Structure 1
Amino acid sequence: MSTLPKQNMKASLNEQGGFQVWWRLLRPHTLTAAFVPVFIGSMLAALQAPIHIGLFAAMLIASILIQAATNMFNEYFDYVRGLDNENSVGIGGTIVRDGISPVIVKTLAYSFLGIATLLGVYICASSSWWIALIGIISMLFGYLYTGGPYPIAYTPFGEITAGIFMGTVIISISYYIQMLSISWTVIIVSIPVAIFIGAILLANNIRDRVGDAENGRKTIAILLGHEGSIRFLTVIFSIAYSLTILFIMLGILPVWSLITFLSIRKATNAVKGFTGKKQPLEMMPAMKATAQTNTIYGFLLGLSLLIQLFIPLTL
């Protein structure tokens, strides 16, 4: 954990005041993990029938709000438990460096969940009320990620939980509300996306490994160690890209989905960025590259489905 003074830390992280304080609270680099699954699920539906734009927009906004609320709960509960201080890297820093009241942060989180719930009512009324149950479970896990007596983020299951709920579940719901049905194809296609989303959490935990261990966490990064975690990150990246090739060969994904491999450079940068680094600040570029890998891969995957809609191409 860095020991830079508060003002030097803000300067090192290039943190600005004003609106930027609230923007950092949202942790915008993580919000693509909410956009990507909705886009992909909706494009999978578009291959079969015209999509309902209102449902697409509601699902997208609700997913982003839930992700932002999860980030705020993370900020709040880590502060309450004494895990974050003014020298912590990788957090919004609105409480420990900018002096925003923890109560305000928690209230905003609940407010975002409230708005997402209202959007969920519209989605359910336009599709199926079974979505309400799944939505409630998803929001509950978003809260329990860092809240509750046994936070998921402190265990080895944080990555897989994030991947399932922010990847597979959101893709499936985004498809279902358009088609009122689900298929194994949708679930299968969601697997690489879930892996990349889980990788964002893994990258975060690699960066914070030492500090997390000191505070009693048992993340995968802590269990595997620094070098082992980098190897694991490399393996899951390789699995995600290998599955993409397999799905294209099997006709599950269109040939256009080969464009997703344009994201592999960012994945390589992420692995190289962690290699040989020990300080959290040194690993920030690798963390950013991991998030960008998910963003670029997911956007290009959704785009490939959109292209397939207008220019069908098969092996």
Structure 2
Amino acid sequence: MNSTFAMWRKSLSQLIQMEDKKDWDALDVLSKWFIATRSAVGTVTLYSGLIGGLLAWQYLRANNGAFNFLTWCILTLGLFIAHGTNNLINDYTDFSRGIDKDNYFRTQYGVHPLAQGFWDKSTHLLWFGVSGLLAALSGLYALYITDFAPVVAWLFGVGAFILLFYTYPLKYIGIGELSIFVIWGPLMIGGVFYVLTGVWSWTVVIASLPVGLNVMSINVGKHTDKAKEDALKGVRTLPVLLGETLARYVTMGSILISYAIMLYLVFAIHFFTPVMLLVFLAYKPALVALQRLSKPRPSQPPAGYPIWPRWFSTVCFVHNRAFSNYFVLALIVDTALRTFIPTFWR
């Protein structure tokens, strides 16, 4: 049991590499799901759900409304499962189209059950179907408790469309990265806020932009890392269309703009209290990311570099995790201040 819990913790905190099918077969169901869905990056989804919930708490507290913890948990868990479902269909689509072959980028940094022969297509589709059903039930619950509100129906439809078609065709026409920004920023955070409060807030949407931008930076960084391989296989991601230089500038811009928006939210409109400036404590990983992004990607890994072919994506991921941790920590304190000192920084 201790080894099972240890694997859960490991697979939720880092991407797992595994070569022996016997090791895979020995895993429990949850460990397989966490690894196959790359749940280590699923924390970005949990953060979005948490942020949407905290902002809803602030709004409801200020307007004498009741906060529904059960709904919040169902929504956040459902979004997390939907993220995993998306990764399963991504792997299935790329494998079926012959993308994840010949030592392709995806198979070099984590377990790919299909490409490595750990299970077959029918098993993969079964896991996708069960995960997709659970995610869909969460969405249907959101529709039900909001009396099938048009906004929720629209959000559910957009989310389902991107989940199913991100890998193909969206990623192939250079708008997959924009989809990532929309999903993890406005759609998740604004959507959770709406379901809990019944209010669509454009200010909440603005507050979601730094989160969406930083998640997108990981995606653009990853696609820049594998732009040459994608171009050879006909996958026209944004970095393939823009070229490496412009793609690096887009990624740098997304990081810098996220901090500018935080300043706007704190000082221009007082939506957040100054405690949210804690996100600037992520400046060290931000500088590391900006410094690496300012130069072309090397053709070979530097001596001793352990996680090649990840280069830009790694520093973007590390920065996003630091930024998100500080954002959530600060928002918890911000929520406490808004709760107990409601007139502060108004």
| TM-score for both structures, normalised by structure 2 | 0.79
Residue 14 of structure 1, CA deviation: 4.3
1:254 and 1:304 in contact (8 A); partners too = no
Higher RCO (CA-CA < 8 Å; seq separation 6+) = 1
Which residue, out of 163, 166, 172, partners 1:142? 163
Secondary structure of 1:143 counterpart: helix
Matched ranges for 1:96-115 at <5 A: 96-115=115-134
User: What is the one-letter code of the residue matched to 2:205?
Assistant: I
Q: Deviations over 1:247-293 (max 9, x none)?
A: 21111222111111222322333344554423585342542332233
| Pairs aligned (count) | 300
Which residue, out of 47, 61, 78, partners 2:94? 78
Residue 133 of structure 1, CA deviation: 4.1
**Residue 259 in 1 paired to residue 278 in 2?**
yes
User: What is the one-letter code of the residue matched to 2:74?
Assistant: A
User: What is the one-letter code of the residue matched to 1:140?
Assistant: F
**Residue 227 in 1 paired to residue 245 in 2?**
yes
User: What is the one-letter code of the residue matched to 1:307?
Assistant: V
Q: Find the aligned partners of 1:279 and 1:60 in 2 and give their Cα distance.
A: 40
Task: Name 1:236's counterpart in structure 2.
Answer: 254
**Greater Rg over alpha carbons, structure:** 2
Taking a change above 3 Å as real, the CA distance of residues 278 and 106 of structure 1, as seen in their structure-2 partners, is farther
1:86 and 1:93 in contact (8 A); partners too = no
Percent of residue pairs identical: 19
1:263 and 1:296 in contact (8 A); partners too = yes
Task: Name 2:310's counterpart in structure 1.
Answer: 284
**Residue 42 in 1 paired to residue 60 in 2?**
no
**Residue 67 in 1 paired to residue 83 in 2?**
yes
Residue 225 of structure 1, CA deviation: 2.4
2:113 and 2:119 in contact (8 A); partners too = yes
**Residue 206 in 1 paired to residue 232 in 2?**
no
Q: Find the aligned partners of 1:220 and 1:191 in 2 and give their Cα distance.
A: 19
Task: Name 2:319's counterpart in structure 1.
Answer: 293
Q: Deviations over 1:194-228 (max 9, x none)?
A: 11121121011011111100011222211232333
Task: Name 1:309's counterpart in structure 2.
Answer: 335
Q: Find the aligned partners of 2:88 and 2:123 in 1 and give their Cα distance.
A: 10
2:82 and 2:132 in contact (8 A); partners too = yes
Taking a change above 3 Å as real, the CA distance of residues 171 and 85 of structure 1, as seen in their structure-2 partners, is same
Matched ranges for 1:155-194 at <5 A: 155-194=173-212
1:74 and 1:146 in contact (8 A); partners too = yes
Q: Find the aligned partners of 2:44 and 2:334 in 1 and give their Cα distance.
A: 23
Residue 128 of structure 1, CA deviation: 3.6
Instruction: Point out where structure 1 has 5 or more consecutive residues left out of the alignment.
Output: 1-12
Q: Deviations over 1:169-190 (max 9, x none)?
A: 1111110111111222111111
1:197 and 1:294 in contact (8 A); partners too = yes
User: What is the one-letter code of the residue matched to 2:56?
Assistant: A
1:66 and 1:142 in contact (8 A); partners too = yes
Q: Find the aligned partners of 2:126 and 2:36 in 1 and give their Cα distance.
A: 13
User: After TM superposition, where is structure 1 displaced by more than 6 Å over at least 4 residues in a row?
Assistant: none
Task: Name 1:123's counterpart in structure 2.
Answer: 142
| TM-score for both structures, normalised by structure 1 | 0.86
Task: Name 2:74's counterpart in structure 1.
Answer: 58
Q: Find the aligned partners of 1:128 and 1:31 in 2 and give their Cα distance.
A: 29
Task: Name 1:249's counterpart in structure 2.
Answer: 267
User: What is the one-letter code of the residue matched to 2:41?
Assistant: T
User: What is the one-letter code of the residue matched to 2:124?
Assistant: V
Q: Deviations over 1:85-104 (max 9, x none)?
A: 26123354211124321222
1:176 and 1:182 in contact (8 A); partners too = yes
Q: What's the RMSD between the two structures over aligned residues? A: 2.3
